Homo-oligomer: A and B are copies of this chain.
Amino acid sequence: MHILVLGGAGMAGRKFIERLARDGQLGGKTIAKITAQDVVAAQAPAGAAFAFEAVVSDLAVPGQAEALIASRPELIVHLAAVVSGEAEADFEKGYRINLDGTRFLFEAIRLAGGYKPRLVFTSSVAVFGAPFHEKIEDEFFTTPLTSYGTQKAICELLLSDYSRRGFFDGISIRFPTICVRPGTPNKAASGFFSNIIREPLNGIEAVLPVSDQVRHWHASPRSAVNFLIHASTMDLGAVGPRRALTMPGYSCTVAEQIESLRKVAGDNVVARIKRVPDPVIDKIVEGWPRNFDPQRALSLGFKAESSFDEIIRIHIEDELGGNFVK
């Protein structure tokens, strides 16, 4: 099979492609080729038995979507997006990339005719806006408080309608915050959830800008890849017309994150977390979802971690080769 990954150079895209390179197959079908599109060149995965092509293009430029689907990939995994902060800072860019780009893709598929790929679209819990219930149910309404969340919610609606009309077989999956995010600290307001684990394990100090009592919704990068694989291979007949699913995750407080780190890595590692309260970040985080009750996704076979210990152990295994700085 031929797989097209949009946003293939990003963290989730890269990890998804690396996993496919290890597996060699998806849902029992041998992978012949992966095309990874992004605004920068995606790197070829090591040791892949399939052909790999990196395409550098902007999905929001008319004609690009048509070119990407010209060879009719059976599976399209759409991870490409301008992130939340950028979509808020640059209104036009956010709508152009996150809405128009996605719509160009959907339209290109519809107009191709007789072509009905599986289409996996990654959405976000940013489709929800406070105030919400302590535990958000599957039938709770989407009232985003960012342009990014608005764009994701709109694409979910389009995907459901295009799927209902039979133009493709689509599913939108709403990722939790991915933790522990590999790499270096970035300026995202959510960065500290990963920073306070990743940096201390590397022997480096990390700043905790919020209270220990802040609760948040997490899943590991490994779970993110599992979500993509399950969404790519499951029977979508069982999903029905409501094609947007909140993925499972693990809800815990920062205090619980820290106690997990202590249990897994010891007091010395925890001592590298420095408390530097930042009221601006505190205020932003207050508006974020804390917990979900993702019954539909669970009943459809999606799985995530069931403890934060597990999330830390996965990070040490997958990113640090089993070692950390004691």
Interface, chain A (partner B; CB < 8 A) = 91, 110, 129, 138-145, 147, 150, 153-154, 157-158, 160-161, 164-165, 241-242
Contact = CB atoms under 8 A, between A and B. Distances in A.
Contacts of A241: 129, 143, 145
Contacts of A145: 164, 241
Which residue of A139, A147, A241 has the most chain B CB atoms within 10 A of its CB atom?
A139
Which residue of A110, A150, A242 has the most chain B CB atoms within 10 A of its CB atom?
A150
A299 B129 CA distance: 21
B91 A143 contact: no
Contacts of A157: 142, 144, 150, 153-154, 157
Nearest to A91: B165
A162 to B, nearest CB: 9
A286 to B, nearest CB: 15
Contacts of A138: 141
Top-3 shortest CB links A-B: A150-B161, A143-B242, A141-B141
A147 to B, nearest CB: 6
Contact of A161 (B139, B140, B144, B158): B144
A159 to B, nearest CB: 10
A241 B132 CA distance: 13
Nearest to A161: B150
A164 B141 CA distance: 17
Contacts of A129: 241-242
B141 A142 contact: yes
26 contacts: A91-B110, A91-B165, A129-B241, A129-B242, A138-B141, A139-B141, A141-B141, A141-B142, A143-B160, A143-B241, A143-B242, A144-B157, A144-B160, A145-B164, A145-B241, A147-B161, A147-B165, A150-B157, A150-B158, A150-B160, A150-B161, A153-B157, A154-B154, A154-B157, A154-B158, A157-B157
A242 B150 CA distance: 12
Nearest to A145: B241
Given A91-B110, A150-B160, A157-B157, 10 more contacts: A91-B165, A129-B242, A142-B142, A142-B157, A143-B160, A143-B242, A144-B157, A144-B160, A144-B161, A147-B165
A161 B110 CA distance: 28
Contacts of A140: 139, 141
Nearest to A88: B165
Which residue of A158, A161, A241 has the most chain B CB atoms within 10 A of its CB atom?
A161
